[in-house]
Amino acid sequence: MALDERAFFTDKPETKQGRYTCPKCRRANDYSIRWVRRIKKDRPPNGADEMDRKKFAKLRDYLLRLDDEVTCKACSKRFEIPSQQSMMFVDQLAGLPNDDELEREIEEASAEPSKPAEPKPELGARFRQNSSNWK
């Protein structure tokens, strides 16, 4: 008899922050999204047959998104999370840059020495008159 997939994993709930824009009011906010991290157990469970052992050898840790919709903090309308990815393998996340590190790299790259601003040409005398002299 084949074992259920949950017998091969331990579930651990997680909350991750995501920045999404409401399609109705167009305001961007940070939302906490619920995920479940499924971690592969050390060995196959008792009662696993040969098919279950082969299946167990191919399994990987993954994240499963629980929330499909969030409520806008500005207009209180519910909208769907604009992502087709509701499941991610944990080993795929390891190569992705951290948001904080990415922001720091962008700041460092944009901190190029810029040319000093050219002085603006002086305005003509007719533009420098006091407004009380206007007719």
DSSP state of 127: G
* Residues contacting residue 42 through CB under 8 Å, at least 6 positions apart: none
Check residues 1 and 85 and name the one with the higher pLDDT: 85
pLDDT, tens digit (0-9, with 9 covering 90-100), for 101-123: 777 777 777 766 556 677 888 87
pLDDT, tens digit (0-9, with 9 covering 90-100), for 29-74: 999 999 999 998 888 888 888 888 888 888 888 889 998 899 999 9
DSSP 3-state percent helix, strand, coil across the chain (nearest 5): 25, 30, 45
